[in-house]
Amino acid sequence: MSFLTPFLARQKNFPIATLLTRHLSSATTRTTTSKLHERYTFTPPPSLSPESQNDDIPTKPNKKKPKPRYRPPSSLDRNGRKPVRSDLPFDFRFSYTESSAKVRPIGLRGPKYSPFGPGRVDRAWTGVCAPAVDPKVELLEAKEEPKMEHQRKKRRGWVQGEPLSTAERKALVLQGERGKTKRQINLGRDGLTHNMLDVIHKHWKYSEVVRIKCMGVPTVDMKNVCTQLEDKTYGKVISRHGGTIILYRGRNYNPNHRPVIPLMLWKPQEPVYPRLIKTTIEGLSIEETKEMRKRGLAVPVLTKLAKNGYYAYLVPMVRDAFLSSELVRIDCTGLERSDYKKIGCKLRDLVPCILVTFDKEQIVVWRGKDYKPPEDGYFFKDKESFDDYDDHLDAGVGKRERDTFKNDVLTAKVDAALWI
């Protein structure tokens, strides 16, 4: 007890008897436990002594099933589903404004695979489009094309119903303005793509009109953009201000019975087309062609194109410039090479003109030897409104023209009724 005296001396309020009692009781307990163990040979179970546990002791099997590993969805896995069938009477293309059925490719850059996925659509992919008519049956192709065009007109006439009055059109245009709604579809360098048709119908589910903002290469030919939108969606362009289009869905449009539009899972590879710039210009020798390209890069710039800009003014500018100069240069610094190649191709068809070179991010075009300005001209308004025959009545149109317009409207209604 002598070794506890200094410690206990510091503990003034702690009784010495209590401490001694606790020490003696713990010693007695250990002595009793050891005696019991010697008498009854008691050994604790493995669960109470982790040091003596053995790895060979069997454990209960886990009844919980393991969670299956995540497997991303594959376009190759059909799960026994049938291919999607679509009754839309036109060929499925990746872009309807930037590709034409008249221009035939000379080859493909890679293997021919369907962008819809293998076995997902009941149409064969030719490398350029998925035709509505079987491409193997060549004799039916010439007969089916006018039939499908007539079917599209009937379907669109029924969906549109009666023409809009001026008041209705103005109210719908006001509804689709930027300050009234944020619903907008951006139409970029690829133009009107196939998957964009499904996006337009989704917007029409909640609103009668949809605003489409056009930028970049497709704006060179806005007339083609409006035509393709009306032809492929069965809608109607009721207003266009610059690159902003208001597209109306129609009076008889039913969102629950919209057409089946299979989606493209990836962008198909572009086929190989003939070269736009040839070694020599037709009608000129090699030396004359080199001299013309050198002069073309030295002429003053007509205009500089901004990236993702609005280019509808380009065709009339080039036509006016050809009245005073045979060579025109357009600065395309900062644009993608594929973009200004497409712009040059559109100028060749719309102006028309001859492409000279695309060097140094410039478009140089030549008007040709026997150039004659088009008689019809190219007067493209920056702002257009599309009214019905009520406006023609107010404008004082003659009785003959008025009756003709009414008969056209009634014929569309009768054809739509027969189609139903």
- CATH superfamily of this structure's domain 286-366: YhbY-like (3.30.110.60)
Residue 21 φ then ψ, to 5°: -65, -45
Region of poorest pLDDT, from 12-21, 103-112, 164-173, 296-305? 12-21
Q: Write the DSSP assignment of 218-263 as a string of letters.
A: GGGGHHHHHHHHHHHH--EEEEEETTEEEEE--TT--GGGPPP-PP
- Token reading at 300: 């003053």
Q: List where CATH 3.30.110.60 sits in the chain.
A: 92-257, 286-366
Specify the CATH number for 92-257; select among 3.30.1950.10, 3.50.50.60, 3.30.1360.40, 3.30.110.60: 3.30.110.60
Higher pLDDT, 252 or 149: 252
Does pTM surpass 0.85?
no
Torsion from C-alpha of 146, 148, 150, 152, nearest 10 degrees: -150
Taking only Cα atoms into account, the Rg of the chain, rounded to an integer number of angstroms, comes to: 40
pLDDT in tens, 194-222: 999 999 999 999 999 999 999 999 999 99
Tell me: pLDDT of 365 over 90: yes
Contact 389, 402 (CB under 8 A): yes
Task: List, in sequence order, the alpha helices (H) in 107-236.
Answer: 141-160, 166-175, 194-204, 222-233
Residue 314: enclosing H or E segment and its boundaries?
helix 314-321
User: What's the Cα-to-Cα distance from 311 to each of 30, 102, 148, 165, 218, rounded to whole Å?
Assistant: 99, 24, 33, 32, 8
Region of poorest pLDDT, from 3-7, 59-63, 182-186, 310-314? 3-7
